[in-house]
Chains A and B, each alone.
Chain A
Amino acid sequence: MFYREAGDFKTSYEEDSQTFPIKFDRYRYYFVLAFAFAVVPFVINDYWVNAIFMPFLIYSIAAIGLNILVGYCGQVSLGTGGFMAVGAYAVYKLMTAFPEVNIIFHVIAAGGITAIVGVLFGLPSLRIKGFYLAVATLAAQFFLVWLFNRVPWFYNHSASGQINAPERTVFGVEVTGPNTEAWATYLFCLVFTLICAILARNLTRGVQGRKWMAIRDMDIAAEIIGVDPLRAKLSAFAVSSFFVGIAGALFFAVYLGAVEVGEAFGINKSFLVLFMVIIGGLGSIFGSFAGAAFLVLLPVLLKNTLVGGLGWPTDLASHLEFMIVGALIIAFLIAEPHGLAQLWRVAKEKLRLWPFPH
């Protein structure tokens, strides 16, 4: 009734090929943006930003990055944790080496450095595919964590091997360090998430994204129609690692403030982000957000209901949390193997016909 393209006339190609061609979708998107920028910063407090919004936004960036590689280009990667570590250590080295440069440039540069590292570890993808590539990227995960633990230069020779984010400001407002305001760190991450999402969305809609998808669907056929697999695969690794690196940099500098590589960027992180992508939906930007929300928010919600609401013992609640999240993952994937994004797509199809289905 409300949600349909009938009567929504387009008079130019630009209008016809915009991201949200249906009016209702577009307004909903504007509404979410307006809410995120104009309402949330006023009502947010330390708990909401540190426990909910920041992890959600940062994991969304990481999931978008991995989705480009796995979902759009079809190259399975288990190295996300290692690449996030590259972003984190890059931003740390840059922040301490060039304190006068604005942190925004450091975060972007950290993404760039991660992109270079990603391309290096993406080279084997030219020869190996599928599970074998997953194992090769697993090597990246372990090698990078080992490297950051092993070489003291990366953590500025501190006695404990921890890296700590110094205080940095954007337009005079602190965004890293202990004295930050909740709204400042929230907005800082939100801006990065929004730009990354818009970038990723438009990259995947354009020539580059079509090349990636051609490689994903059948690499030999893609090569025959003129897609250069070397450039397509390596560009996917570069773009994906760029986003993952930004996520790692924000994860360390803004969210946690102090990080130890083995604990924060271990293999668990790679799996977590991969699960986000799979549950959210391969090859969908919305799916990246949905997957991140599912795996970040659900445990917090369960914990607060079971311990805070019902007053259960913390260990029982935390064991139950594993079971409930696990069961939900299985249930979701059985009901809809293409993830939350596909559920959303089906819902939209239904809405288009409502209230007069065939």
Chain B
Amino acid sequence: MKMKLIATALAAAVTAAPAMADLVFPSLSYRTGPYAAGGIPFADGYADYFTLLNERDGGIGGEKIQMPECETAYNTEKGVECYESTKGMGSLVYQPLSTGITYQLIPKVTADGIPMLTSGLGRTSAKNGAVFPWVFNFPANYWDGASVAVKHILDQEGGDISGKKIALVYHNSAYGKEPIRTLEELSKKHGYELSLIPVDHPGQEQKSQWLQIRRDRPDYVIMYGWGVMNQVAIQEAVNIRFPMDKFIGIWWSGSENDVKPAGDGANGYKALTFHNLGSDYPLYDDLKAHVFDKGLAAGAGDQHGTAIYNRGLYAAMLVAEAAKTAQEIHGTSQITPAMMRDGMEALEMTEEKMTALGLPKFGPEFTVSCENHGGNGFAAIGQWDASAGEWKLITDYMQSDQDIVQPLIEADSMAYADEAGITPACN
């Protein structure tokens, strides 16, 4: 007992020492490894937005922002090392951009009392804030993505897809397996036939998977891929002449880096998105004036305006707005992780807010509450125009099938609550 006391006292002394005065938003990024193609633009966008706030506004509410970066290489062991090395700095919120690391960190952030935001990734059932008080996944999650993709297919087929064949090509990991349950439920409802085609990490070799697709001839292919897997899959799809407009990727399979290697063949490839694309926003003028032209851009500075760079901006914007909300609620600019959590739970994203930030119509409107940590599940479909070299939104934002998704979230989060011994509570 005495030993424990001394140990905890020492641990407290060591970890409490480097408390910084600034707002700390650590970035667990990956600029190396097979997933760097997605990791670099996101990390650049995340960093540039905070640099802009520091340069233009002097931080958030007068407090400067610090963004210690730590390289995870999408590897869970390095992710743990990064989390442990940054959590003592007074980190306010984590965005690991890796479903594997997210699963790792959910129990840890809950024990340490630091919020985590996993926009469009992570554990879908974290939407239930009664079970996951420290984890947020607004504005959309994997199951929303699967449901919106099926909705789009319904639209394409005039509302009837019974007897159609849909294949899911997925990264054989927690991330790729997430949508399976949803797609199975939806297949019961709409009567399509679902086939599952896993691709193992890192996904550089997919010949057999696409041979299977060529043999089975599914009507549509939905892909949950990431990193180098996307490029290979799109190239293979081009090779077997699969119709590109019937090939729909999740938002993590929809970056310029994924389609460009396949050249003109990738024309017409579709991908979901939960935020807008392109660089035609007033915010980019500010970025240019305060960040790019001053030579402060993160990384090589060649990712501006790409889909995942925009997602990095969007992710940083969401936590910055949550921090502002937290400062308003608690009446102090020096917020703690616990206050940050309150700010995230009270976050309201409205059109006026986004317009004022220079990002009109950039993302969906949503309100976070304890019961709903995940937004309303709106997503749109973008299509790749190879000749213009850009993504174009071809649909409006559509809401996922809440009748299917919501009960699944309820069931999965309750199963977790049982397993981890949590009593769900909203106060």
Contact = CB atoms under 8 A, between A and B. Distances in A.
Contacts of B71: 303, 307, 314-315, 317-318
Contacts of A326: none
B426 interface: no
A162 B174 contact: yes
B104 A300 contact: no
Contacts of B31: 313-315, 318
B85 A47 contact: yes
A262 interface: yes
Interface stretch (A15-23, A177-185, A274-282, A334-342): A177-185
Nearest to A173: B4
B260 interface: no
B204 interface: no
Interface in A299-353: 300, 303-304, 307, 313-315, 317-319
B328 interface: no
Contacts of B54: none
Closest 10 CB pairs of A and B: A315-B31, A178-B107, A178-B111, A160-B174, A314-B71, A51-B81, A47-B84, A183-B7, A45-B11, A258-B103
Contact of A42 (B10, B110, B174): B10
B29 A257 contact: no
A171 B141 CA distance: 41
Contacts of B76: 256, 258-260, 263-264
A51 B80 contact: yes
A215 B81 CA distance: 41
Given A46-B15, A47-B88, A181-B8, A258 B104 contact: yes
A43 interface: yes
21 contacts: A42-B6, A45-B10, A45-B14, A47-B15, A51-B81, A51-B85, A159-B178, A160-B123, A164-B103, A177-B107, A179-B111, A181-B11, A183-B3, A257-B107, A258-B103, A307-B71, A314-B29, A314-B70, A315-B32, A315-B36, A319-B32
A141 to B, nearest CB: 12
A266 interface: yes
Interface string A146-188: 0001000000001111101011000001000111011100000
A50 interface: yes
A92 B125 CA distance: 22
Contact of A166 (B80, B412, B420): B420
B66 to A, nearest CB: 13
Given A47-B84, A319-B32, 9 more contacts: A45-B11, A50-B80, A159-B125, A159-B181, A161-B177, A164-B420, A177-B107, A178-B107, A260-B76
A47 B15 CA distance: 9
Contacts of B73: 318
Contacts of A229: none
Contacts of B239: none
Interface in B1-60: 3-4, 6-8, 10-11, 14-15, 29, 31-32, 36, 40
B91 to A, nearest CB: 13
Given A51-B85, A167-B421, A181-B7, A263 B103 contact: no
Nearest to B108: A178
Contacts of B111: 178-179
Nearest to B4: A181
Nearest to A251: B77
B200 interface: yes
Chain B contact residues: over half helix, strand or loop, or mixed?
Answer: helix
Interface string B386-423: 00000000000000000000000000100100011100
Interface in A51-91: 51, 55
A187 B315 CA distance: 40
B7 A178 contact: no
Nearest to A180: B111
A307 B32 CA distance: 15
A98 B177 CA distance: 27
B145 interface: no
B169 to A, nearest CB: 15
Interface string A24-63: 0000000000000000011111110011000100000000
B69 interface: yes
Nearest to A49: B84
A55 B36 CA distance: 25
Contacts of A260: 76, 100, 103, 173-174
B201 interface: yes
Contacts of B11: 44-46, 181-182
Nearest to A161: B177
Nearest to A142: B200
B100 A263 contact: yes
A46 B29 CA distance: 21
A44 B7 contact: yes
A4 to B, nearest CB: 38
Nearest to A157: B415
A167 B180 CA distance: 28
A173 B181 CA distance: 37
Contacts of B15: 45-47
